[in-house]
């Protein structure tokens, strides 16, 4: 840590505006985790799946096409073996299946079954319903601004972290 980084923020600190943002991000993350938002959405959708399994199903639903294990892992920002375990468990429950990769017969792709797609849709409906209720009193422009700015923040942070990882 450089000496400049260790000093407390002063009135002329160029990052002063971020001092109010970071605690809010932490607050939001804690609220989601403490409030068990993903677990509540799964329960409301009638699903007995944990967060990682739901993550795989939602990733496949959002992709709208079969994906390789590595592609699922990249989109979820986790390691491949983690996804492999989840896919195996979802296969046993009949929620995903392996299909041949048309570009490489040695590889397989993962796609949701009809039941898996139904499960992902019920989960997303429940989760989106919760957010819609939380934002119900927001004017449309505020909702649009939130979407635009949050997308930009997520993309920029993800890109910056990827560059840092590439430097390591």
pTM of the model: 0.75
Within-domain flag for 12: no
How much is the pLDDT for 15? Answer: 81
CB atoms within 10 A of CB 65: 8
CB atoms within 10 A of CB 92: 9
Domain holding 160, by residue range, is: 138-168
Within-domain flag for 4: no
Q: Which two tokens stand for residue 118?
A: 């139904």
Task: For residues 43 and 98, state if they share a domain.
Answer: yes
Task: For residues 145 and 129, state if they share a domain.
Answer: no
CA distance linking residue 23 with residue 74, whole number of Å: 28
Task: For residues 81 and 116, state if they share a domain.
Answer: yes
Within-domain flag for 28: no
Give the number of residues written for the chain. 168
How much is the pLDDT for 11? Answer: 60
Task: For residues 58 and 128, state if they share a domain.
Answer: yes
Task: For residues 103 and 165, state if they share a domain.
Answer: no
Residues pairing with 100 in the sheet: 108
The answer to whether 95 and 119 have CB atoms below 8 angstroms apart is yes
Q: What is the mean pLDDT of each run of 10 residues along the chain (168 residues)?
A: 51 78 88 81 85 93 94 90 94 95 89 95 92 95 96 91 85
Task: Write the burial class of residue 49 (CB in 10 Å: 0-12 exposed, 13-18 middle, 19+ buried).
Answer: buried
Task: For residues 50 and 107, state if they share a domain.
Answer: yes
| Interior angle at CA 125, CA 33 and CA 129, nearest 5 | 65
* Number of structural domains the chain divides into: 2
Task: For residues 40 and 121, state if they share a domain.
Answer: yes
Task: For residues 85 and 128, state if they share a domain.
Answer: yes
Within-domain flag for 109: yes
How much is the pLDDT for 66? Answer: 96
Q: Which two tokens stand for residue 119?
A: 């499960």
Closest to 66 in 3D by CA, of 100, 92, 42, 32: 100
How much is the pLDDT for 72? Answer: 96
Task: For residues 150 and 79, state if they share a domain.
Answer: no
Task: For residues 129 and 50, state if they share a domain.
Answer: yes
């Amino acid at each position: 840590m450089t000496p400049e980084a260790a000093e407390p923020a002063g009135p002329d600190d160029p990052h002063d505006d971020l001092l109010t943002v970071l605690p809010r991000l932490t607050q939001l993350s804690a609220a989601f985790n403490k409030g068990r938002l993903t677990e509540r959405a799964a329960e409301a959708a009638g699903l007995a799946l944990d967060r990682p399994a739901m993550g795989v199903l939602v990733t496949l639903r959002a992709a709208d096409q079969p994906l390789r294990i590595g592609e699922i892992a990249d989109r979820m920002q986790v390691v491949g073996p983690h996804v492999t375990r989840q896919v195996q468990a979802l296969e046993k429950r009949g929620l995903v299946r392996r299909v041949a990769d048309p570009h490489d017969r040695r590889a397989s792709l993962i796609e949701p079954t009809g039941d898996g797609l139904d499960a992902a849709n019920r989960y997303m409906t429940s989760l989106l319903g919760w957010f819609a209720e939380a934002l119900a009193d927001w004017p449309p422009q505020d909702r649009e601004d939130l979407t635009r700015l949050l997308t930009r923040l997520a993309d920029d942070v993800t890109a910056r972290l990827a560059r840092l990882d590439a430097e390591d």
